[in-house]
Structures are given as structure tokens and as C-alpha cells.
Amino acid sequence: MRTLALVVLLGGSLTAAADGLLKVGDPFPSWTLTDQTGAKVSSKELAGKRYLLWFYPKAMTPGCTAEGQGLRDRADVFAKRGVTILGVSFDTPADNARFVAAERFPFRLLSDSDRTLAVAVGAADSTGTPVARRISYLVAPDGHVEKVYGTVNPSTHASDVLADIPAS
């Protein structure tokens, strides 16, 4: 059923890996989500840019905080390498706003409250999943998956991703 749902959602262009994750080279699905300020953010506005979409289970929990802090502390390096950082959870924009304020994150946190994107990319098994799976995707400027992080260590994730991005 899961693959069928992906095929319908993404116009038949993808098949999911056995674990439900997209694969390197797959087109990343189009999306529009709301950030912590209530503004809409979409893949369309990121066309031509490389971005990291990191899915996290729950705002202001220890692992998510550690992962976010690591990305925050290296945000300048990501920016120098042309990478936009975006976090995604099922939290409300208000919860994400509190998380951004508490941790002084210089990047946007997006709310996938209906879980549509999460299900499409393997961060959730269904729209009833309570929290997102801790995964990330590095999306290339052409909109294809450049790197899949199906297993994420919150303490080293920022360094792990930066090791995969050439210094400019």
C-alpha cells in the first residue's frame, strides 16, 4: 500500500525504498508547509538551491534540541556552502516558534501537521503517526535527492551532513 500511495501522490515517478525512504537521484516531491511565523514555505521557492530538510520528532525534546543546536552552531558553514537548513515536524507553528526562540535557531522550522510530506518521504508510516521519524534529505538545486540520512545521530548530524557537502 505504501508504494501505491507514493505513486499516486508523486505522479508515478517514484518507488519507495524498502524502508520507505526516497533514494539518491529520486525527484523530491513538491511541498508547501507553514513555518514558525505562519508564513508559507515551498519547494518551488527553493528551486535552484540546495537545502537540507531535517525531520525531527518533537520540538524541545532532548534529541531534537541537540540536533537543532548542532545545525544552529554550524549554520554559517552551511550558508557558506550554499545550503538552506529547514526543520520539519508535526508540531504546530506556535510550538516551533517557541523552539526557535528558546534555541535561537537561525533557520525556519516547518509544520507538516497533516503528515503528507512525511508519509511521502518515509518520515512517517501513515497520517496517524504521532511523531516524525528522525531522518534528513539533502536536496540538490535541481530538486533531486542528493543524500539520504535514514539513520541520524542528533549529536553528529550537522558534521555528518557537512562532510557530504563540498567546501566552496
Catalytic residue numbers read 64
Determine the angle formed by the axes of helices 62-73 and 93-103, rounding to 10 degrees.
Answer: 60
Backbone torsions φ then ψ of 152, nearest 5 degrees: -120, 130
In 3-state terms, what secondary structure has residue 45?
A: helix
In 3-state terms, what secondary structure has residue 95?
A: helix
Of 138, 69, 121, 62, the residue nearest 100 (C-alpha): 69
Residue 44, C-alpha cell as written in the block: 518551488
Cα(105)–Cα(163) distance, integer angstroms: 21
Cα(151)–Cα(133) distance, integer angstroms: 9
